[in-house]
Structure formats: C-alpha cells, structure tokens
A and B are shown apart, each in its own frame.
Chain A
C-alpha cells in the first residue's frame, strides 16, 4: 500500500475517513490525559505520534488520494496531529512541574546549619589603623616614608636637636644597643620615635617633602594597662616654602575629621620638644561627648574623663636647626611635624581598655577587627 495508487479507490483509503481521524485524535488525547507520570507520557507519545502511530500511518496515505481530496484530508490529519502534540506538550509541562515540586521539596536542607569549616583570619588593628591613617594622607599627596628600627643616635637624637647630655634625651627611656665590650656607648639605639624617619626623608628626598612615617618604636617602659615598651607611632612631616603653624593646625583638624567624622577639631597646648619650635601638645575634641560632659556631672564621659578633650600627641613647627642638620635652608623652607601613638588612638577609637590586649596577640582580640578598620 505504500506505492502510490494508479487509480483512485476510495474504499481502499478507509483510514482517511473523517470519523477514523477523529477517533485517532480522541484516542490519543485520552491516552495523554491518562498518562500518570513522565514515563507513561513517553510511551503515549511514541504510541500516538511515533512513526507507527495511526495518525502517522494516516498521514502517509494522503499521497494516495486523488488531487482534489488531498487538501481536505491533509488538513484534517494535520489538525489532529497538532492537537495531539499540543496536548502532549501541555501534559509534559504539567507532569514536570508536579515532579519538580515533589523532588525539590524532598531535597530541602537546613540552611541555618553552621559552616565554620575554615576559621576566619584577621589583620591586627594596629596595622589596619595605621594604614587608614596613611590613606588619609596619601590621598592628600603625602607619601609614606620608612626607616630602620635599630637606628643611629645621630638620626634618633642629634639631628633632631637633642644635644648630647641634654635632659631631653633622658625623657625618652631609650633602649641602647650594646657597644664593644658590653658598653652602652655604641651610638646605636632602638628608635624611640619615628622622628628619625623625618631626617632620613629630608636627606633622601627632593624638596618639598610631605611624608607620613608609621612604624614601630621602643621605650623602656614595663608593659601594663596603659604602657608597652614596643609600640606603633605615626609621624607626619611637611617641609615646604611658607608653611606655618596654622597649616599644622589645619592638617590636624583634617585628620581628626577623617578619622572621627564631621565637627571634630583639635586643640594645641604649648609644650617642649627639641625638634620642633614652637612645640605643642595636641588634643582632639572628645568624639564621644564632644565636650558636653565638661562641668556637667549629670553627663559624665568615660572616654575623656569629662575633660572634653583627648590627648593625642606632640607636634610643632620643625626646628630650623633640624633643617640645618639635613642641609635644608631654614631661611627659605619651613615645616611642621606631628606624631602620636597608634595604640592610644586604637584604645579610644575602638574602646580598648587594656594595652595588654593589643600586644599579647590573643586571636579573640584581633578577629573582630577583620581586614579593615
């Protein structure tokens, strides 16, 4: 029957009768509807749309019809096949949705389970706080200068206008490096401040010099709640034409605003340092009470002991003798400098009460500070 008929014989194409096609169609739709799962549906699909299915066979018979009947029969068979395919697709989607709903529910997990498989790490807050301060100044154009921790006395003292035998040298609680034969006269010390970096910067760099010098420094204090023999300092030095003490004040103000927020300011009080003249002690407004606790016993402030100000460090106009020792003409250039301890800053910026927690390396202390501060 596969060969085209030589002559039209309506009796021989029973399969293309409208009733037959309608039957095939309804049988198929009923089977699709009856398929209970995706597997059954696959069988239905093969049985009713596959190569051997009644509709496929009927389709093949169309060629045997006389030309005038072909169009009619083709249309009828095509519609039936379309309807079946449509029903199959719809049932497929329906059954997949059913399966998904069931299986994914079965796959549910407890997403609140802890996952502390790999413990976290952290950087030390002294490091990150120092970096934060560096960033404030590098954004302004300053560069970060560094120097050795074991330092020649000339850099640590002489060039900074600490004359030999001057009482100011003794205020530094210096660790001296042992000289020949065990003497303390080696001319080498553990730097007592990062100020020798100022000298190195002035000797090594082209003027003008705008640097910030963070680093470890040493003083022979016993470790207690507020002291440590090894601590971190940040120092700033600016040497240019026409720099003034007002510029120092403005720079300090900018720093405390950057670190503590708008409205913060600093206060200078006269003091003495050999390497600056004039010299000042710098205080910052208490960032907690902003001075409101002063003379106000109802609102005491623990951070500043109700003083309204927090002592930050020392500063001043670079002593022209320091410039001279570095070969900078003090008639032409002037500068300012300041320095303060990072531990202290950390203590009051982050409510740390005991210095020992900062230096002991207990991971419980360091972890909460994470990567940035």
Chain B
C-alpha cells in the first residue's frame, strides 16, 4: 500500500515539519511494515510552469520528427513574450496546456535546463513528459493538462510534484491498512492526534426506488449497496489532483468514473464497481455460478466458472466475478458512460480468496476482500463515489437507494483486564489497556473482566491475545522488559543427533568436504545412474509445482546430487575431490493415501496422527560420499594414491564405526557401480548401503572424472545396528606370539572370507589378524593368489608356549582350508 504523505495529512494533523521518515519510524513501531519512503520530485527546481502552445512548426530533414513551438508562459519568463522551445513529442496541438521547464530549472536526476542550440533553433527550455517529472512511467509523449489552468501557473504546486510516499507491506491481518483511512487511524494513534474519519458521511437509508438487487448467496455477500448516478458528462476528465493521487498510490488514471471508484477504494478500503446502466439487463443478482458458465472479465480473458465462484449477474447471466473483477460486457464505455450503477458490497473473504486463486486472478479488490473489508463502510463508500461523480462530472444522484443487509450483531471478546499484562510480562494496568483498545476503535465495558466490542473494520480481532497484541504494540514492543526463563534440566542431544555430528567430524577429519545439495531431481537422473526400469529408486515423490519443470521429483539417493557438486567443482578446476552429504531421501509408501483433514479445535487422536503420518513418504537419513582424483598427492615424500573403490568403502566403514558398527563387506552388483568393483555393506545381515567405483557409463553420463568412486549408507539403519556400549577389554600384559601364514586360494575367493575363516578357526587366543601382502605369479599358479597374514596370539593369564601358538595357527589354517580351500604356501 502506497500512502502519499500529502494525502495522509488530509485526515491527520501531523505536527508541522514531520517528514516521511518520521512517520515511517512511528508506523513501524506501531506494527506497519513501512518498507520505503519515496521522495517524489527530489531535486526538482523551477521555474516549472503551465504553458499554452501558441504555434507549432514541423521541422523537416531530421531523423525523427521535431517541432519548433512557441509557448505562452505568461510572465514566468519575465518578458511575457512567447517562449521558443524545440520538442520531439507529437501528442499535442496548438492551444493545449503543457508543462514547461524554463532555463535555470532542474529536473529530477540533476538534469539542468539551459537555453541550447538544437536542430537549427535555440530551445529556451523543455516541454515535459510525466516520466521526466517523476510522475510515473508513462512515456507516451509530453503531458497535456486538462483545461482550466492559467499559463504561467507554478506546475510544481499544481501537479503536487514534491511529496513523500510511504510504501507499506500490509500483513494479512491488517486489511484495513489497505486504505488511507486505515493508515490514517494508525498515524493518528501514533501521534496522539484525532482522526478525521473520511467514512463518517451522512448516508440515505434504503428505499424501494434503488436499482433492484437480489442476493441468492447471503453466506458470500451480507451487504450490498447500489446507487445510481445519471447524466454524467462523458467528456469530463479526472481533475489533476485526483489523477495525481492515483498515480502516487500506483494506479493509472483511466476515465473519470473508473478513477473515482479507485480513488474511493484507496481512501476508504471499500472496493467498488461501476456498471454502465444501459448495459445491465434486469436486476443485479449475487449467486454461485453454475458449473461451466462462462464470463469474459475486464482483462479480456474468458473464464469457465466453478460452482463455488460467487458471481454478479443480470438477466443475461454472470456480469462479474464478485469481489475480484467485473465483466467486459457491462464495462464503463471508453468514451465514458452517462448513467452508472455503483456497487459497494461486502463479500466473505474465503470465497473471494478461492475464486482469485482458482482463476489465478488477483486484483486490488480481491486483495482487500480476502483480508476482510469493513462491512459498515459500503454505504459511505457508495455515497462518496456518488458525491465525487456528481461534483466532477455534472451527474445527478438518483434518490433511489438499495441497501441489502443480512443482520449481524457486533462481535465481542471477553478478556480479563490484566490479560495483556500476563502476555507481555509487564504491568500496563487496566486504565492503559482500556484506553489503547478504545483508540483502535473498540468499545470496552467492565472492570476486571472486560467485554470488548471490536470495530467493524477489524475482522482479525477475535481472541484475547489479539487484543493483547494491540495493547502491547501501541505501548511499544521496545518497552518490553527482557527476562530469561529457566527451563527444566534437559537431556542434551539424542544419540542420533550425537552420531550425526560424529559422522560429520569423522568424514571431515578423513579429508571429506561436506556439500549439501538440493533434493530435486529429474527422471533422466535415474537413466544416467543406469537403474533398471523397475528399480525401486525410480519411484519418487513428485512436486505439483516444481521450480524447474525438468526436476519435478525428490531424490531417492544422494549420489546424483553429490555427483552434480563434484562436476561443478571439477568444472571450476578442482581435481582431487572428496565430498560428503548427510541428508534425507524420500521414498514413497507402497500405497499412497491422502492425509485426513483434521480439525484444529482439539488434539487429534493417536489414530488420526498415525493416519497423517501414513500419508507421508519414508524419509530415511543417508550419508553419501564421492571421490575423484588423488586421495593422497604425490610430492617430495614419494608417490601419491589415487582415490579408489577402497577409499569409498573405507568412508562407509568410517561412518559405521562412529555408530559402533563394524561393517561386513560383500561383493555385489548394484547400479550405479562398476559390476566388478561394488561392495554391498552389511550391518549383521542387514544391507545398509553400497560402495565402490562408479560404472564407466555413469561417470560419463554425469560428466565426472572416470573412476570416480562413491558410497551411500543408511544412517538410520546403521544407528539401529549399533548402540552397544563399548565394554572395556581386559588388557593382557603377557607377551604376544606372532605367527605369519601365507595361504593360496583361488583368485576369486574374497579376502574377507579367508580372514573370516582364519578368525573362526584360531580360537580365543587370537588377538588380531592382518592381511599384509597379496602375491600372484607363476610360482603360485594360474588363477590363484597368495594371501599373507600376520596372526597375533596372546593369552590373558600366561605366556603362550610355542606349541600353543602353533596349534592355534594350525587350527586357523585348517579352518581356512575347509572353508576356502586354502593351502598353506610352502607346505
């Protein structure tokens, strides 16, 4: 809402010398978000005067048409002689009144005007356009003023070019501030001065002679005022002051009748509609649309109506979308209409909001009705419109007045007088509370228990806390004390939250950089990952209104996002990259159910909550990582180490270890991984993730370096698998017995199986097993490999004899022989 300070002063006697910035500060403190104060005409300096065009000479031979004019500016040029001016605009004729800036003047933007030679003539000044004067963006040539002003008149004053305009972002609860009347009320309270309420007009009562109106939908329209003005001069133009005020609030002047209805809407907050009476066929009606009915609105769009839409009708059918936009057929004619019917109605917010959203059609009217207008203002607004039309266009107000009113009592709120004190945590006292409520227009009765009748323009006031807010904001939020409550002792972070932090630190400590990515994906991502057509991960939660139509779904895996980030980094010249992300993936339930619409006037039952929960997708938390380039750089210390599948698996182990889980690794085949370099990660028998090198087709499709490796692990599952508190081992101080064994197995036997077999066979004396070498070659035989293990044995209570250690080793080897067909090398 744009509020010109000059207009605001009409209703509030602001102290002299108060600036827009002062008013801004006061209104912000009172709760109106005044975003900017625009300084109109800043830097403008006269002489800027009204001129009458005396002669026009068309200059030929230039690239564009140019006019050499003489303009009567009376004595403004101190000579009284016609002023010679060169002008590039063509939208004026001899005799028109224009706005002239004379040499010595300055236009906004520090545009200094002086006499200058141009197009073979000396131009003594300039004929101004609206944009040059900071009046608006209208650049259709220069301003032609309506008749009535004298040449030589100061145009700065005439056009009210110097002003300040407050721009207020009105919150949804303060619909009344979408009007000068509403903002003036707040300004009056803020400055402690009286308000001249522009809606306080004498209005005639309903009589049977007004334009007939039938309301068939009283739930959507509880008030309807219709007035008729006839004999309007269709040539009458809006006076300068009216046009200027509309321009300042951001409306484009159109025609007198339309301008007047807009003006009254901004003044009083009541949207109005004017119908050309000659185009209405029979009584005006208000009803719900019939499904499929059509209406062409003022914007020229034909709209198919919904059974919920509230429409204005005549005998021909719908002639307007109630409270949103009028129909094209009954529009005020371009040349102006002589007889008009004025509608000032009160429509219920919800149907208007729904219609506006359904037809994607917002208007100044719908904005106001959605937020709730003052139902008691319809007759005053109609009267004000009638008065202006009569006064400005020579019309006659018909005596017939239609006022249809559904009876409604005043709204009251019961509130303990100390309620605002208890909400605020300070003491205002009853007297202050009552005074503040009265200032905003409430009637207040009672002593300890107040009965507060709220004003008709405040539909947002419905509960005691609403009233408390009014008192507290007017007393000043800045005056609230600052106290610190004492919560009961808390239990700190949950295990799950602690785990997430540990995982982040562990991965960052291992050289990974955290890179959260957006969860939006397109279907092609799953092709790029090489997923089968029936892969579960292709089943996604989809958005109805994605930001990017190519990415309408939510991720089911973290890997595409990480690869995107990897690609971006590598595109920017980074080669050695290790990234990780911890975040949710979204897995739709097997069967999609719509959540129930639950009430809000009580706690939902456990069943209802469960039903809501069931409508949501599964949202497990995952950790993913990707690596490319060098994991360790080469340098003066020696060779480096290229990031590989092994690092990816180790990243997964790192994550699991933080949860106290030692992962089991098995070879697997799983997109998007290289079929020979893919690990299935298990916690116990539960698959918790995968890791390995990416399939070459995947790295190509994503545009990331070849041999990029990745892992993804379900943190929720890992957490569930862990949780065993570590128990302190008994540390034996007896000496260790070390035994090395080299085992020959088939090349495709996984090392993990051999190690598992050794562990299983070695018995309780085994302290650790470590694979320290792998050897292949002709000595071993084709298709075979030798795995060298260091076994360490120790007893808790004695020094092991050589025989004991050897027996344990032999048992381990025997177990490996049985389970993996291993033979002892050199045996």
Interface residues of A (CB under 8 A from B): 113-124, 126-127, 131, 134, 138, 140-144, 146, 148-155, 158-159, 161, 164-168, 170-171, 175-180, 182-184, 186-188, 190, 203, 208, 210, 216, 220, 222, 229-230, 238, 240, 242-247, 249-251, 253-254, 265, 267-272, 277-281, 317, 319-321, 324-328, 334, 359-364, 366-367, 370-371
Q: Assess whether B354 is interfacial by the CB under 8 Å rule.
A: yes
CB pair A249 B511 closer than 8 Å: no
- Chain B nearest CB from A278 CB (Å) reads 3
CB pair B483 A176 closer than 8 Å: no
CB pair A220 B465 closer than 8 Å: no
Q: What are the residues of chain B within 8 A of A325 when measuring CB–CB?
A: 599-603
State the CA gap A326–B598 with chains docked (Å).
Answer: 12
CB pair A124 B171 closer than 8 Å: no
Q: Assess whether B477 is interfacial by the CB under 8 Å rule.
A: yes
Q: Assess whether B487 is interfacial by the CB under 8 Å rule.
A: yes
New A-B pairs, 11, CB < 8 Å, besides A327-B603, A361-B516: A118-B511, A122-B508, A126-B516, A127-B516, A149-B619, A150-B616, A154-B612, A176-B544, A187-B595, A250-B482, A334-B423
State the CA gap A149–B584 with chains docked (Å).
Answer: 8
Q: What are the residues of chain B within 8 A of A142 when measuring CB–CB?
A: 487, 490
CB pair A166 B353 closer than 8 Å: yes
State the CA gap A307–B469 with chains docked (Å).
Answer: 26
State the CA gap A176–B544 with chains docked (Å).
Answer: 5
Q: 30 interchain pairs (CB within 8 A)?
A: A118-B632, A123-B505, A127-B504, A134-B493, A141-B490, A149-B519, A149-B584, A154-B595, A154-B598, A158-B598, A158-B600, A165-B350, A176-B543, A176-B545, A177-B542, A186-B615, A203-B603, A229-B518, A245-B423, A251-B485, A267-B477, A268-B480, A324-B602, A325-B601, A334-B422, A334-B423, A361-B517, A362-B572, A363-B515, A366-B513
Q: What are the residues of chain B within 8 A of A150 when measuring CB–CB?
A: 541, 554, 586, 616-617, 619
- Chain B nearest CB from A302 CB (Å) reads 19
Known contacts A121-B509, A143-B491, A361-B565, A177 near B425 by CB under 8 Å: no
Q: Assess whether B252 is interfacial by the CB under 8 Å rule.
A: no
CB pair A270 B31 closer than 8 Å: yes
CB pair A141 B489 closer than 8 Å: yes
Contact among A118, A176, A281 for B631, CB-based, below 8 A: A118
Most buried by A among B30, B422, B490: B490
CB pair B505 A371 closer than 8 Å: yes
Q: Assess whether B510 is interfacial by the CB under 8 Å rule.
A: yes
CB pair B481 A249 closer than 8 Å: yes
CB pair B543 A178 closer than 8 Å: yes
CB pair B600 A143 closer than 8 Å: no
Q: What are the residues of chain A within 8 A of B86 when measuring CB–CB?
A: none
Contact among A182, A208, A249 for B488, CB-based, below 8 A: A208
- Chain B nearest CB from A222 CB (Å) reads 7
Interface positions of B from 466 to 491, Cβ below 8 Å from A: 466, 468-469, 472-473, 477-478, 480-491
- Chain A nearest CB from B178 CB (Å) reads 11
- Chain A nearest CB from B610 CB (Å) reads 11
Known contacts A118-B511, A362-B572, A141 near B635 by CB under 8 Å: no
A-B residue pairs, 9 tightest by C-beta: A327-B603, A270-B31, A244-B425, A246-B425, A278-B469, A361-B515, A184-B544, A272-B171, A141-B487
- Chain A nearest CB from B21 CB (Å) reads 11
Q: What are the residues of chain A within 8 A of B349 when measuring CB–CB?
A: 165-166
CB pair B33 A271 closer than 8 Å: yes
Stretch of B106-114, B574-582, B728-736 contacting A (4+ beta carbons < 8 Å)? B574-582
Q: Assess whether B91 is interfacial by the CB under 8 Å rule.
A: no
Contact with A along B625-643 (1 / 0, CB 8 A): 0000001110111001000
- Chain B nearest CB from A363 CB (Å) reads 5
CB pair A277 B633 closer than 8 Å: no
State the CA gap A324–B601 with chains docked (Å).
Answer: 6
Q: What are the residues of chain B within 8 A of A267 when measuring CB–CB?
A: 477-478
Q: What are the residues of chain A within 8 A of B631 when measuring CB–CB?
A: 118
Known contacts A150-B554, A269-B31, A123 near B514 by CB under 8 Å: yes
Q: Assess whether B568 is interfacial by the CB under 8 Å rule.
A: yes
State the CA gap A334–B29 with chains docked (Å).
Answer: 25
Known contacts A152-B612, A155-B612, A360-B565, A250 near B354 by CB under 8 Å: no
Interface positions of B from 128 to 159, Cβ below 8 Å from A: none
Contact among A152, A203, A247, A321 for B463, CB-based, below 8 A: A321
CB pair A268 B465 closer than 8 Å: no
Q: What are the residues of chain B within 8 A of A159 when measuring CB–CB?
A: 598, 600
State the CA gap A131–B510 with chains docked (Å).
Answer: 20
- Chain B nearest CB from A243 CB (Å) reads 6
CB pair B545 A175 closer than 8 Å: yes
Known contacts A117-B633, A134-B493, A360-B565, A278 near B172 by CB under 8 Å: no
State the CA gap A360–B569 with chains docked (Å).
Answer: 9
Chain B interface category by residue count = 35 or more
State the CA gap A188–B617 with chains docked (Å).
Answer: 10
State the CA gap A287–B516 with chains docked (Å).
Answer: 28
Q: What are the residues of chain A within 8 A of B371 when measuring CB–CB?
A: 167
CB pair B504 A123 closer than 8 Å: yes
Q: Assess whether B16 is interfacial by the CB under 8 Å rule.
A: no
CB pair A247 B541 closer than 8 Å: no
Interface of A is mostly: mixed
State the CA gap A148–B420 with chains docked (Å).
Answer: 36
State the CA gap A138–B423 with chains docked (Å).
Answer: 25
State the CA gap A140–B517 with chains docked (Å).
Answer: 32
Known contacts A188-B616, A272-B174, A278 near B541 by CB under 8 Å: no
State the CA gap A312–B513 with chains docked (Å).
Answer: 28
State the CA gap A96–B141 with chains docked (Å).
Answer: 102
**Closest residue to A149 on the B side, CB-wise?**
B584
CB pair A245 B592 closer than 8 Å: no
**Closest residue to B507 on the A side, CB-wise?**
A121
- Chain A nearest CB from B81 CB (Å) reads 45
CB pair B350 A120 closer than 8 Å: no
- Chain B nearest CB from A192 CB (Å) reads 13
Known contacts A267-B478, A277-B469, A278-B465, A144 near B423 by CB under 8 Å: no
State the CA gap A325–B601 with chains docked (Å).
Answer: 5
Contact among B173, B426, B487, B497 for A246, CB-based, below 8 A: B426
State the CA gap A360–B568 with chains docked (Å).
Answer: 8
CB pair B602 A320 closer than 8 Å: no
Q: What are the residues of chain A within 8 A of B508 when measuring CB–CB?
A: 121-123, 370-371
- Chain B nearest CB from A183 CB (Å) reads 7
Q: Assess whether B193 is interfacial by the CB under 8 Å rule.
A: no
State the CA gap A153–B33 with chains docked (Å).
Answer: 28
CB pair A245 B425 closer than 8 Å: yes
**Closest residue to B492 on the A side, CB-wise?**
A138
State the CA gap A242–B485 with chains docked (Å).
Answer: 10
Q: Assess whether B361 is interfacial by the CB under 8 Å rule.
A: no
Q: What are the residues of chain B within 8 A of A271 when measuring CB–CB?
A: 31, 33, 171
CB pair B516 A317 closer than 8 Å: no
Contact with A along B171-191 (1 / 0, CB 8 A): 111100000000000000000
State the CA gap A317–B473 with chains docked (Å).
Answer: 13
Q: Assess whether B79 is interfacial by the CB under 8 Å rule.
A: no
Q: What are the residues of chain B within 8 A of A242 when measuring CB–CB?
A: 422
Q: What are the residues of chain B within 8 A of A155 when measuring CB–CB?
A: 612
Most buried by A among B171, B513, B572, B586: B513
- Chain A nearest CB from B655 CB (Å) reads 13
CB pair B546 A247 closer than 8 Å: no
Q: What are the residues of chain B within 8 A of A183 when measuring CB–CB?
A: 544
Q: Assess whether B424 is interfacial by the CB under 8 Å rule.
A: yes
- Chain B nearest CB from A301 CB (Å) reads 18
Contact with A along B294-324 (1 / 0, CB 8 A): 0000000000000000000000000000000
CB pair B487 A127 closer than 8 Å: no
Known contacts A138-B493, A166-B353, A271-B33, A361 near B569 by CB under 8 Å: yes
**Closest residue to A254 on the B side, CB-wise?**
B484
CB pair B507 A175 closer than 8 Å: no
Q: What are the residues of chain A within 8 A of B632 when measuring CB–CB?
A: 117-118
Q: Assess whether B370 is interfacial by the CB under 8 Å rule.
A: yes
CB pair A121 B578 closer than 8 Å: yes
- Chain B nearest CB from A266 CB (Å) reads 8
